[in-house]
Amino acid sequence: MLPVTEIRKEILDMGYRSKASHLGSALSLVEILYTLYFKVANYSKDNYQEPTRDKIVLSKGHGSAALYAVLHKKGIISDEAINHYSVNGGILPCHIDMTAAPGFEASAGALGHGIGIAVGLAMAKKMDDLPGHVYTIIGDGEAQEGSVWEAAELASTRHLDNFTVIVDFNEIQASGFSNKIIDQRNLSERFKSFGFTVYDVDGHNIEELEKVLKIPSDKPKAIVAHTIKGKGVKFMEGTVHSHYVRLNDELYAQALAELEDK
């Protein structure tokens, strides 16, 4: 099984045990987080408490299951924590509580916060002349929050070349198709006009993600990662329903079977 498939299986296991929602939001994120944590960022079990390392803020906190699974694979989050996701007496909540387990830069769940926190982290690195890059991942729905653009305008004004925002552009949000609710087909142009170096990539292509993440830029960088909500599980892919679907025995079995077909 490919590493990203193992991560997806863990997300489904967590979803099945807890009956928690936001599975589609987590599944679209897998390659983005996997590439960051395993291919790009200077971030490991040994250095995650060091100030000089790279920092990664998952601003779209509802995709937490993907982050938990990746940090578990990284050896930072324990088996016990994963097995106690979103259950009574549990350890890991649906939205990130930074006190719940090691490895998180910030708590998250309210949209449009993490990107500003990430800008603050990048500014602090500049103040102390510290190495390391700060990455944040937002959703395309989240990009509708005004505070995202408050953070973006500050990042470019302050020439934060140590800052990258990745948009998980799965084109679906809680109540429907994003571009019908707020037309964001020009999201790349928006970031360009805010002073970012922008790349549009296939958000499920690890090689492509790795390549653009590693290209140096003298400006803040925005990577618009085009993804599929619910990626990896056919009955969820590209559906609004995948935001809230809860896995019963039958759906769980079907989801696993579809995963294993890949």
What does 164-230 look like in DSSP terms, one character per residue? EEEEEE-SEETTEEHHHHS--TTHHHHHHHTT-EEEEEETT-HHHHHHHHHS--SS-EEEEEE--TT
- Would you count residue 112 as binding other proteins (CB under 8 A)? yes
Q: Within positions 166 to 205, which residues make up the interface with other proteins, using CB under 8 A?
A: none
- Choose between 1 and 124: whose C-beta lies nearer to other proteins: 124
- Would you count residue 147 as binding other proteins (CB under 8 A)? yes
- Would you count residue 107 as binding other proteins (CB under 8 A)? yes
DSSP H helices in the chain: 3-18, 23-27, 30-35, 64-73, 79-83, 114-127, 146-157, 178-181, 187-193, 206-214, 249-260
Give the max Cα distance, the chain. Answer: 54
The answer to whether residues 141 and 174 touch, using CB atoms and an 8 Å cutoff, is yes
- Would you count residue 118 as binding other proteins (CB under 8 A)? yes
The answer to whether residues 86 and 109 touch, using CB atoms and an 8 Å cutoff, is no
Residue choice 116, 139, 220, 232 for contact with other proteins (CB under 8 A): 116
Least distance from C-beta 42 to other proteins, angstroms? 16
Question: How many residues bind other proteins, per CB under 8 A?
Answer: 31
- Would you count residue 84 as binding other proteins (CB under 8 A)? no
Sign of CA dihedral 76, 245, 32, 208: positive
Token representation of residue 181: 């609710």
Query: What character string, x for contact with other proteins (CB under 8 A) and - otherwise, covers 31-70?
Result: --------------------x-------------------
Residue choice 53, 84, 125, 229 for contact with other proteins (CB under 8 A): 125
Tell me which amino acid residue 88 is.
N
Least distance from C-beta 150 to other proteins, angstroms? 4
- Would you count residue 93 as binding other proteins (CB under 8 A)? no
Interface with other proteins by CB under 8 A: which range of 66-74, 121-129, 168-176, 203-211?
Answer: 121-129
Tracing tokens 């599944």 back to the chain, one arrives at: 27
Which residues contribute to the site for other proteins (CB under 8 A)?
Answer: 51, 97-98, 105-107, 109-110, 112-125, 127-128, 146-147, 150-151, 153-154, 157
